[in-house]
Structure 1
Amino acid sequence: MVPPDPNMRVSNAEREAIIARLHAATEEGRLDLQEFADRSREAYEARTYGEVERLLADLPETTGTLATTTPAPAAAAGPAELRLNPKASSVERKGDWLVPRKLAVDAKASSVKLDCRHAKINSTQVEIDLNLIASSVELVLPAGAYAVDENIDVVASSVENKASYQGVDGIRFVLYGRMKISSVTVRHERRFLWWRW
């Protein structure tokens, strides 16, 4: 691929892509928050490719992978089921984790966050069996995925599904089970400027 002319003007979409790479590098620990803020400001002020080239010069071409990294085995299908049983605790799964076909969450007086945005999902459907007492569950879905929550027995609890089916055939998350004095929130990634959570 021929590198762009350093005198060529940078578009807004290209600036956003640069900010996204800087943000990913910050999450990986390659940049600290001050470096991220400084480089982001410079990216927004830049006019040409020559001005933004140095902002990415010390970062890998594709964040998270180095040329010397040994690839993971292709047969990593993972377990068919994952059970989480927190008691008066906080549990979080995020980043590059393997989502099985079924998750069982048996929580008492606990909070559970399942962030699937960057997770490895090897099936078209993920079942989540809930057994909650005085607990909260937050499920963050990857882009294109949706959730179905029609078979949950609810007692003094709330279910907020902000990622229901919208006509896109992505990964389907099926929530079922029972809840007492608990809450479940299902959502997609939130965005504000270059922040994602």
Structure 2
Amino acid sequence: MPKLSMSTPASRNGSMRAADTDRIQTAQLLTDAAASGKLGVNEYEDRLTRAYAAQTYEELDRLSADLPGAVTRGRSGPCRPAPSSLLLAILSGFERRGRWNVPKRLTTFALWGGGVVDMRYADFTAHDVEIRSYSIMGGQTILVPPEVNVDLHGKGVMGSFDHTVDGEGSPGAPCVRISGFSLWGSVGVKRKKRKGS
């Protein structure tokens, strides 16, 4: 009878399996480097895609070793999701663009108004993000970056709620689940590249 070997913990921290929070922390470090001009947009997107697909601390460390602020993975505290947020537009509008922390739960509401949620330059603080969007005689646009996975489940009543988004996300990248409804309004979801790529 052949001997079965039990897997043992890795002797080196680098070969241990990375968690979603470790990938998110590396993504935030890469975003810092891109925002300060240390990484070009194409290199940033390439490293970001590889960070989300990384399986070990060693893979994550290789992606950020040449950047200021790089730390050895597995020694930092857990990444905490940003608090749930509400974006509200009543006879007005809202915009969430640029660098911001995407919470685990986000609710958007537009009544005779409109809004834009642009996640292309944002920091994801959770692997799974839930967005509930409601538009009544108003319109909203949600922009997601190329690597993010999207799951859409909304209803349009005498209005529209997108049910598909062009392109596929990357394995291991955050998943954004968008639900809600529009009444005489719209909720549009678009996958859009970052400028310069």
Q: Which TM class, normalised by the smaller chain length?
A: 0.5 to 0.7
Is 2:93 the counterpart of 1:90?
yes
8 Å Cα contact 2:147/2:170 also seen in 1? no
Other-structure match for 1:29: none
Deviation at 1:76, TM superposition (A): 7.8
Deviation at 1:107, TM superposition (A): 1.4
Q: Which runs of 5+ in 1 are unaligned?
A: 1-23, 26-61, 66-73
Selected match of 2:156 from 154, 157, 168: 154
Q: CA offsets, 1:88-108, max 9 Å, x none?
A: 112111111111001111210
Matches within 5 A, 1:16-165: 77=80, 79-150=82-153, 152-160=154-162, 161-163=164-166, 165=168
Other-structure match for 2:74: none
Deviation at 1:169, TM superposition (A): 3.8
8 Å Cα contact 1:141/1:187 also seen in 2? yes
Residue identity opposite 2:161 in structure 1: V
Q: CA offsets, 1:153-172, max 9 Å, x none?
A: 32011133324655744211
Other-structure match for 1:179: 182
* Compared CA separation, residues 97 and 156, structure 1 to 2 (3 A): same
> Which of the pair has more CA radius of gyration?
1
Q: CA offsets, 1:65-118, max 9 Å, x none?
A: 9xxxxxxxx888464310112101121111111110011112101111111111
Of structures 1 and 2, the one with the larger relative CO (CA 8 A, separation 6+) is: 2
How far, CA to CA, are the matches of 1:117 and 1:167 in structure 2?
A: 14
SS in 2 for 1:85: strand
Q: CA offsets, 1:8-44, max 9 Å, x none?
A: xxxxxxxxxxxxxxxx78xxxxxxxxxxxxxxxxxxx
How far, CA to CA, are the matches of 1:93 and 1:76 in structure 2?
A: 22
How far, CA to CA, are the matches of 1:187 and 1:117 in structure 2?
A: 11
How far, CA to CA, are the matches of 1:145 and 1:172 in structure 2?
A: 6
8 Å Cα contact 2:166/2:191 also seen in 1? yes
SS in 1 for 2:89: coil
Other-structure match for 1:3: none
The size of the alignment, in residue pairs, is 129
Runs of 4+ in 1 over 6 A off after TM superposition: none
How far, CA to CA, are the matches of 1:117 and 1:94 in structure 2?
A: 8
